[in-house]
């Protein structure tokens, strides 16, 4: 029998249904793997007792033939999702001991369908970062290493713990959130599949907010099929989230393996950024050829406002963060640092509770929303956002079914290598991903090749609103051509 932790989510699901092993055996195997991989710092909280209890419940349901779509499958949950009775910190000191009394809609959907909680996964503090180095609990280390080198690499961010855990076979899948690329970028860095659904496809209720008009939950998995299975359970209308789309959820798994013949795939010329590595350009061309070989048509398209997306994003997102994080004041919950009066208590609590990157973004956001600067910055950024959305609408109106781009401008870099002197150096990691969030579109990153150091690279597919099925069909073509990637174990 294949080692239990090496099974894909679909294989594990089918094995449980055939009674080849039990949910308890599957959970125990993954709990051991988590214990042995603590050097990666992917989990900030392990929940072995809860996992075993949930697995026993799953075994009882499977024995009666009542198992749900995810019955007995062990998952990791990004520490941005509130989990009832289980500590949820957003990887910030200010929420270090916060235990929610409620469950996020996305995780409630997963438990409804029978999934098992292994623990909470590391992320950049309040999801603000591209490398999982801003976490209060320390950085996550990628399970990948450069060929012939031992330098610790970042797994990407902000959902780096999720990506690292899935890539290292610590869980069959994981949840993430994507505000500007925080699912797709770490998926590319770690050689796995990451899906950012259409804004509104998954409920945001019970997820610690970063930028409310950009945040969207999505799955990490080792295969396109696995990510489709997870998304079906995660998605759905939620009346508690006014931005949640009141649409039925398709069986995304059925789209995997369907024909892409006749589909028109856009290749945006603006994504050929100055200084882009030749290996990224080569991979992009290879991906286009794979889709062409499967019967799709490649069409050069223009998204003329792409160059303004990154600066506009870094105005809109911090502005919303500044508003959302005002609630962390030491009064109702979380950290409290006493002062001589309420104002000083606010100041001391927020100074002690928030890390450097979070404080930086709050200050940027407060500045662009302030009197005299609102029109010059925030209002202009929202106008740019409208133009970016219009670019995509015009492209799709010309019969384009999806758009193919690189996911990241490079492979993973070393811990401490970027952003210490110039934060913008780190922000540039999002150059290919932020447009998708600004326009509210679905996107998927699929592992597609390697760089010169044998590190994984991904290709991104961007789809029409609520047409994730097209992305799963196209993603499966790339996956079949490129093969699956696994790091050599060193931890």
Residue 277 has a pLDDT of 82
pLDDT at 161 over 70: yes
**Alpha-carbon span 436 to 215, nearest angstrom:** 11
* Cα torsion 11, 71, 59, 52: sign: positive
Q: Is 339 helix (H, G, I), strand (E, B) or coil?
A: coil
Burial of 147 (0-12, 13-18, 19+ CB in 10 A): exposed
- Strands (E) across 19-115 are located at 43-46, 74-78
Instruction: Give me the residues paired with residue 450 across strands.
Output: 456
Q: Is 175 helix (H, G, I), strand (E, B) or coil?
A: strand
Residue 262 has a pLDDT of 98
Burial of 189 (0-12, 13-18, 19+ CB in 10 A): buried
Strand-pair category, 443-450 with 456-463: antiparallel
Contact 412, 189 (CB under 8 A): yes
pLDDT per residue over 99-127, tens digit each?
Answer: 999 999 999 999 999 999 999 999 999 99
pLDDT per residue over 35-78, tens digit each?
Answer: 999 999 999 999 999 999 999 999 999 999 999 999 999 999 99
- Per-residue confidence at 2, pLDDT binned at 50, 70, 90? low
**Alpha-carbon span 375 to 458, nearest angstrom:** 38
Secondary element (H or E) of residue 166: helix 160-167
Residue 454 φ then ψ, to 5°: 65, 30
Q: What would the two tokens of residue 404 be? A: 């193919």
In this structure, the dihedral spanned by the alpha carbons of residues 275, 280, 284 and 286, taken in order and rounded to 10 degrees, is 130
Strand-pair category, 74-78 with 264-268: unpaired
Residue 95 to residues 90, 140, 438: CA-CA distances in angstroms? 7, 19, 28
Report helix, strand and coil shares of the chain as percent, to nearest 5.
Answer: 45, 15, 45
pLDDT per residue over 425-484, tens digit each?
Answer: 888 888 999 999 999 999 999 999 999 999 999 999 999 999 999 999 999 999 999 999
pLDDT per residue over 229-243, tens digit each?
Answer: 999 999 999 999 999
Residue 1 has a pLDDT of 45
Residue 80 has a pLDDT of 98
Domains delineated in the chain: 1-491 (3.90.1300.10)
Residue 425 has a pLDDT of 80
Percent of the chain surpassing pLDDT 90? 94
Contact 322, 362 (CB under 8 A): yes
Residue whose C-alpha is closest to residue 157's, from 136, 137, 128: 128
Residue 98 φ then ψ, to 5°: -80, 125
Q: Give mean pLDDT, residues 260-287.
A: 93
**Alpha-carbon span 32 to 43, nearest angstrom:** 13
pLDDT at 346 over 90: yes
Annotate 256-293 with DSSP letters as a single string.
Answer: TT---TT-EEEEEGGGS-TT--HHHHHHHHHHHHHHHH
Residues whose CB falls within 8 Å of the CB of residue 148, separated by 6 or more in sequence, listed in order? none
Write down the mean pLDDT value for the chain: 96
- Per-residue confidence at 133, pLDDT binned at 50, 70, 90? very high
Residue 473 has a pLDDT of 98
The residues carrying an active-site annotation are: 78, 158, 182
Residue 424 has a pLDDT of 78
| Cα Rg, the chain, nearest whole Å | 21
**Alpha-carbon span 446 to 189, nearest angstrom:** 11
**Alpha-carbon span 110 to 107, nearest angstrom:** 5
- The pTM is what? 0.97
Contact 26, 72 (CB under 8 A): yes
Secondary element (H or E) of residue 360: helix 356-369
């Amino acid at each position: 029998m294949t080692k239990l932790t090496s099974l894909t989510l679909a294989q594990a699901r089918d094995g449980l249904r055939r009674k080849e092993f039990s949910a308890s055996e599957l959970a125990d195997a993954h709990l051991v793997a988590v214990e042995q991989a603590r050097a990666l710092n992917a989990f900030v909280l392990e929940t072995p007792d809860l996992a075993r209890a949930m697995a026993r419940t799953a075994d009882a349901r499977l024995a009666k033939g009542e198992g749900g779509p995810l019955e007995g499958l062990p998952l990791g949950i990004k520490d941005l999702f509130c989990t009832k009775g289980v500590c949820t910190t957003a990887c910030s000191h200010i929420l270090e001991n916060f235990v929610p009394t409620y469950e996020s809609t996305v995780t409630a959907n997963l438990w409804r369908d029978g999934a098992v909680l292994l623990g909470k996964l590391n992320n950049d503090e309040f999801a603000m970062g591209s490398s999982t180095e801003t976490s209060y609990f320390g950085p996550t280390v990628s399970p990948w290493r450069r060929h012939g080198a031992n330098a610790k690499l970042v797994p990407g961010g902000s959902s780096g713990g999720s990506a690292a855990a899935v890539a290292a076979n610590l869980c069959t899948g994981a949840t993430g959130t994507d505000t500007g690329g925080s699912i797709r970028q770490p998926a590319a860095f770690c050689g796995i599949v990451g899906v950012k659904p259409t804004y509104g496809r998954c409920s945001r209720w019970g997820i610690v907010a970063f930028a409310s008009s950009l945040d969207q939950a999505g799955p990490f998995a080792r295969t396109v099929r696995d990510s489709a299975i997870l998304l079906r359970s995660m998605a759905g209308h939620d009346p508690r989230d006014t931005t949640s789309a009141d649409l039925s959820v398709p069986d995304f798994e059925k789209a995997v393996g369907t024909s892409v013949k006749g589909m028109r795939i856009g290749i945006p010329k603006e994504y050929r950024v100055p200084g882009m590595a030749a290996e990224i350009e080569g991979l992009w061309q290879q991906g286009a050829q794979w889709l062409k070989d499967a019967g799709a048509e490649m069409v050069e398209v223009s998204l003329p406002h792409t160059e303004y997306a990154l600066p506009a994003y870094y105005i809109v997102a911090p502005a919303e963060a500044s508003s959302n994080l005002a609630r962390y004041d030491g009064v109702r919950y979380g950290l409290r640092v006493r002062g001589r009066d309420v104002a000083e208590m606010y100041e001391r609590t927020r100074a002690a509770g928030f890390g450097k990157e979070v404080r930086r973004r709050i200050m940027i956001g407060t500045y662009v929303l302030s009197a005299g600067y609102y029109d010059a910055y925030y209002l202009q950024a929202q106008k740019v956002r409208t133009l970016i959305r219009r670019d995509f609408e015009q492209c799709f109106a010309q019969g384009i079914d999806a758009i193919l781009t690189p996911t990241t401008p490079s492979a993973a870099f070393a811990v401490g290598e970027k952003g210490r002197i110039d934060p913008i150096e780190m922000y540039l990691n999002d150059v290919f991903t932020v447009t998708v969030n600004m326009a509210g579109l679905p996107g998927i990153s699929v592992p597609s090749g390697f760089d010169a150091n044998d590190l994984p690279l991904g290709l991104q597919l961007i789809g029409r609103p609520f047409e994730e099925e097209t992305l799963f069909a196209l993603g499966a073509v790339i996956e079949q051509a490129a093969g699956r990637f696994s790091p050599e174990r060193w931890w």
